[in-house]
């Protein structure tokens, strides 16, 4: 009986240490937000004044992008192209084109909002910078996970001979 209690205690203790606490999770999230902010400021050469105006608009833009993509993703995530009927494939293409049109309209709206804050040249650079920040954030997140977080920081690192994922696609702006 004591062994069962002791084993139960060890299992419970293990699960407590296996999952990060809410405060640890919040601390990591705050650190990631700061890293993201610093990356944007560095890559776009933003002044502190520009950054104060830029980030509320950029955060809103990214939120709207997620909201725009979610219905499409929810509808088509579990579908494989080879399993679609011709009618479903046609619907998929129409949905994808409509989503892209909406993304372009959103980019125009927020590009116009950002131009007075950061200038047209930096708005033009924004799509590329977003991708670079995303790649850097994933790398930093993996580094943070590897320093004591769950999962041991696995993932694919350094597999590409050039150390990168290849050239970025052309900018959409």
pLDDT tens figures, 63-81 = 999 999 999 999 999 999 8
4 pLDDT band, cuts 50/70/90, is low
Please count the other Cβ atoms lying within 10 Å of the Cβ belonging to residue 157. Answer: 12
Residue of 68, 123, 73 whose CA lies nearest to 100: 68
Summarised one tens digit per residue, pLDDT across range 79-89 is 998 999 999 99
48-76 helix and 22-44 helix, angle to the nearest 10 degrees: 110
Question: What is the C-alpha separation between 92 and 84, in angstroms, rounded?
Answer: 9
- The Cα–Cα gap between 56 and 64 comes to 12
Q: What is the mean pLDDT of residues 138-143?
A: 86
In the chain, domain spans: 25-139
Write down the pTM of the prediction: 0.67
Judge contact between 173 and 127, C-beta under 8 A: yes
Percent of the chain scored above 90 by pLDDT? 58
Residue 41 CA: distances (Å) to CA of 28, 32, 36, 62: 20, 14, 9, 16
Question: How many helices (H) does the chain have, and how many strands (E)?
Answer: 5, 0
Question: What percent of the chain is predicted at pLDDT more than 70?
Answer: 73
Question: Helical H runs in 19-85?
Answer: 22-44, 48-76
């Amino acid at each position: 009986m004591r062994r069962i209690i002791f084993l139960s205690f060890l299992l419970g203790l293990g699960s407590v240490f296996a999952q990060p606490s809410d405060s640890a999770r919040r601390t990591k999230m705050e650190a990631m937000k700061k890293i993201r902010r610093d990356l944007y400021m560095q890559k776009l050469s933003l002044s502190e004044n520009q950054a104060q105006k830029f980030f509320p608009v950029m955060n809103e833009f990214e939120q709207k992008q997620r909201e725009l993509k979610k219905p499409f993703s929810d509808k088509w995530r579990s579908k494989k192209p080879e399993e679609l009927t011709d009618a479903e494939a046609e619907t998929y293409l129409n949905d994808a084109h409509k989503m892209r049109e909406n993304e372009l309209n959103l980019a125009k709206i927020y590009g116009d909002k950002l131009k007075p804050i950061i200038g047209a040249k930096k708005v033009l650079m924004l799509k590329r910078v977003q991708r670079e920040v995303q790649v850097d954030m994933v790398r930093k997140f993996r580094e943070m996970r590897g320093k004591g977080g769950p999962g041991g920081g696995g993932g694919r690192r350094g597999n590409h001979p050039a150390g990168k994922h290849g050239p970025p696609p052309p900018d959409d702006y």
